[in-house]
Amino acid sequence: MRRRPSFDQEIGMTQAVRRFFDYYRAPRVLGLDVLRIVASLTIVAYHGSTQASFYNRGLLRHGYLAVDIFFVLSGFLLTRQALKLRTNTRLMSFATRFWTRRWFRIIPAYWVMLGLITLGVAYLPIRANMSLADLPRHLLFLQTLFPPNRYTVTWSLVTEEWFYLALPFMLALFFLVPRRNVRVAGVLLILLIPSVVRAIMVQHGETPVLPQARFDGLVVGAGLGVIWSLVPQWKGRLHDSRKWLLAVGVLGAVFMFVATTRLNDGLVYWTAGLLAFNLFIGMTIPAMTVLQWPRFLPIGLAAFVTFLSDLTYPLYLVHDIGYTIVDATGIHSKALYFAVALPFIFLCAVVLHFAVERPFLAWRARIDSSTKRTVASPGQVHSGLQAAGAEAAA
């Protein structure tokens, strides 16, 4: 009987391609990758619509709501990660460990982009107008607290980073409270704070993009992360109800997405509406966590989806700048505009991913491995979600 060629032989893999497939075909949760990809592509399309001058048309008018999908997903994943990193050591040791892992993921690519924007102002047709005087505020994620924000899309990154700076302390406080009903009441109170802040800002004619005005999605995700990690009874109920929760969540989110295109961005929308959208997205998480790849699916497609999921953070960092560079070409056809802009943006994101993000994630993995061998002791829990794609950022 003739022997069937191996997988490598069938597709004629080079060593580089083999390494690519080995990295991206590791087991992943399909549902969470899908959420991340949908959110990322929606944001890219939304900002492209503003550049191509058909802003306010159709569903793209409120495409920025996809940021809240990232917030819910990010809060869910990183709270679970924080709880797995939690040990019997001091609070500051736990907090530093959590922050270090987060910063290895976020800061290198972000700082590289800040440097390129600052240097590129004089040579590239970008509208960022970043000066050396602006750089310290942006390096420390202070650009929305102390405007102007020269790198406008990063308002959401600032929101995430300040939330995660506080997360270890919020978890510590959470565990100090003995009664469950008091804990739940505290979480609900925190969840309402952004709506109140948004109401005040809207009344004063301000756009609610401050960290304290938009972290409700992160709280929704963090609450789900706590349930998933620490409350098996509630997790079981959510798991058993996942299908109808998914149906209600999807229908509710679509309704919010469509209905708000016909409404003015008034007080009700910015308070109750935005909070409701985050809750609807949270309702989809139980079903998405159990959505897995079918076995018959080609491994190449699975690897591509995983790669695209990992590319979402670089896409977030480069897409708006990429659009401004393509703007300078003077293309008037919308179809041609996107035909040029999208491949250029994806190419820039791929370069940033492989040149900056991947090396630092590999460095973080080596540090984690060394810490596990030298620091971990019986009774301590040291675990983390996989380095690639385990965290979300938008």
> In the prediction, which pLDDT does 373 show?
60
Decide if pLDDT at 250 tops 50. yes
Decide if pLDDT at 276 tops 60. yes
Decide if pLDDT at 169 tops 80. yes
Residue 392 CA to residue 389 CA, distance in Å, equals: 7
Decide if pLDDT at 394 tops 60. no
DSSP 105-127: HHHHHHHHHHHHHHHHTTTS--S
> Quick one: pLDDT band at residue 271, thresholds 50, 70, 90?
confident
> In the prediction, which pLDDT does 264 show?
59
Residue 259 CA to residue 248 CA, distance in Å, equals: 16
What one-letter code names the amino acid at 387? A
- The pLDDT of 157-173, averaged and rounded, is 93
Residue 139 CA to residue 151 CA, distance in Å, equals: 11
Residues 271/276/279/284 CA torsion (nearest 10 deg): -140
Backbone angles phi, psi at 339, to 5 degrees: -65, -30
pTM of the model: 0.86
> In the prediction, which pLDDT does 328 show?
79
Among the listed ranges 101-110, 196-205, 314-323, 352-361, which one has the minimum average pLDDT value?
A: 196-205
Decide if pLDDT at 100 tops 90. yes
Q: What mean pLDDT, rounded, does the chain reach?
A: 82
Burial of 191 (C-beta count, 10 Å sphere; 0-12/13-18/19+)? buried
Place of tokens 């709270």: 79
> In the prediction, which pLDDT does 245 show?
96
Neighbours of 50 (CB within 10 A): 15
- The pLDDT of 248-276, averaged and rounded, is 80
Place of tokens 């892992």: 101
pLDDT digits (tens, 9 = 90+) for 281-318: 999 999 999 987 777 777 777 788 889 999 999 999 99
DSSP 352-388: HIIIIIHHHHHHHHHHHHHHHHHT--TT-------TT
